[in-house]
Chains A and B, each alone.
Chain A
Amino acid sequence: QVQLVQSGAEVKKPGSSVKVSCKASGDTFSSSTISWVRQAPGQGLEWMGGIIPILGTTDYAQKFQGRVTITADESTSTAYMELSSLRSDDTAVYYCAREWGIAVPGLNLSGMDVWGQGTTVTVSS
């Protein structure tokens, strides 16, 4: 059973950066696409971007272009999401999610079928 385990909660100052990790168990990392989705308090889901680890190809939402960097380390089956220039409205729960397949996020037929437990990022002065 594939699992995605994320790093712990973070509290950051405005203007700083945060890096969240997402470790996949099992041997499916190389056959998967990993997306990052966030959810502000009381709000809906918002896709930030994704990566195809075996190809190193990234895909970012226009809103986050230039501020988010998604990387992956195949040797440890871990994906990372770094968000810079943090603002108070970046306070949210950040999820990683897997799609089975190596097409860009949203085009793998399986959908986001495995999700991490979420990482709470609080941005406050």
Chain B
Amino acid sequence: QSVLTQPPSASGTPGQRVTISCSGSSSNIGTNYVYWYQQLPGTAPKLLIYSTNQRPSGVPDRFSGSKSGTSASLAISGLRSEDEANYYCATRHASLSGVVFGGGTKLTVL
């Protein structure tokens, strides 16, 4: 069981806006930046959002991150078929002394 809680699945139709949540605690999300990773089947994860709400160069502005208290969210607007992937949130955990990942959310584009 992951320290960070994500819904196991999410779905949307092309063009829609989808939000994926990541729930933590004051020991992790509440006091640290949040990162989001996208993993396509059979490939290594790719950094999607860093420092809670920043996009690396090359990541479309359809992807955005936010945080409120001990929860974070990834929003994907203008959903496209190529967005179908697994999405993971991650942050640093104070007492566990290390990086923790959410369990992952499988996004399906209907």
Residue ranges of A at the interface with B (Cβ–Cβ < 8 Å): 35, 37, 44-47, 49-50, 59-62, 95, 97, 104-107, 109-113, 115-118
Q: A59-B98, A109-B51, A112-B35 known; A45 and B88 CB under 8 Å?
A: yes
Complex interface: chain A residues within 8 A of B56 (CB): 111, 113
CA distance A109 to B42 in the complex (A): 27
CA distance A105 to B99 in the complex (A): 7
Q: Is the interface of B mostly helix, strand, loop or mixed?
A: strand
Complex interface: chain A residues within 8 A of B86 (CB): 44
Given contacts A106-B93, A113-B50, 11 further A-B contacts (CB under 8 A): A35-B99, A44-B88, A45-B88, A45-B90, A61-B96, A105-B92, A106-B91, A109-B51, A111-B50, A112-B35, A112-B45
- Asked if B50 and A110 make an inter-chain contact with CB atoms under 8 angstroms apart, the answer reads yes
CA distance A50 to B100 in the complex (A): 13
Residue ranges of B at the interface with A (Cβ–Cβ < 8 Å): 2, 32-33, 35, 37, 39, 44-47, 49-51, 56, 86, 88, 90-93, 96-104
CA distance A35 to B96 in the complex (A): 16
CA distance A46 to B92 in the complex (A): 13
Shortest Cβ gap from B102 to chain A (Å): 7
Q: A109-B50, A115-B46 known; A47 and B101 CB under 8 Å?
A: yes
Complex interface: chain B residues within 8 A of A97 (CB): 45
Instruction: Report, nearest first, the 4 A-B pairs whose CB atoms are least far apart.
Output: A106-B92, A111-B50, A47-B99, A106-B99
Name, among B2, B56, B98, the residue most crowded by chain A CB atoms within 10 Å (CB to CB).
Answer: B98
- Asked if B97 and A59 make an inter-chain contact with CB atoms under 8 angstroms apart, the answer reads yes
Complex interface: chain B residues within 8 A of A110 (CB): 50-51
Cβ-defined partner of A60 (8 Å) among B32, B45, B51, B98: B98
Name, among B86, B93, B97, B102, the residue most crowded by chain A CB atoms within 10 Å (CB to CB).
Answer: B97
| Chain A residue with the shortest CB-CB distance to B8 | A44
Cβ-defined partner of A44 (8 Å) among B44, B92, B93, B101: B101
Shortest Cβ gap from A10 to chain B (Å): 18
Shortest Cβ gap from A113 to chain B (Å): 5
Complex interface: chain A residues within 8 A of B101 (CB): 37, 44-47
